Amino acid sequence: MKINDSHLKLIALSTMLVDHIGYFFLPSVEVLRIIGRLAFPLFGYALVQGERHTSNFSGYLFRLIIFTIISQIP
């Protein structure tokens, strides 16, 4: 089975969810936090691949900046 970008994003999302469950509900179970640490490099890889394969870099950067601003709103 070949893993594509959608699979990587789903794996990253799942590991981030495991991390958040460990942080909020099971803080004494460190293995959940360790599993969650895989999310950042996977999302970073997806971000770089998106940048490499876009035909409109300024549009891609604009969408990233807008998403960053929206994500900071509590």
pTM of the model: 0.82
Q: Which pLDDT does position 22 carry in this prediction?
A: 96
Per-residue pLDDT of the chain (74 residues; tens, 9 = 90+): 788 889 999 999 999 999 999 999 999 999 999 999 999 999 999 999 999 999 999 999 999 999 999 999 87
Q: Which pLDDT does position 5 carry in this prediction?
A: 87
Q: Which pLDDT does position 74 carry in this prediction?
A: 79
- Closest C-alpha among 32, 8, 30, 10 to residue 21: 32
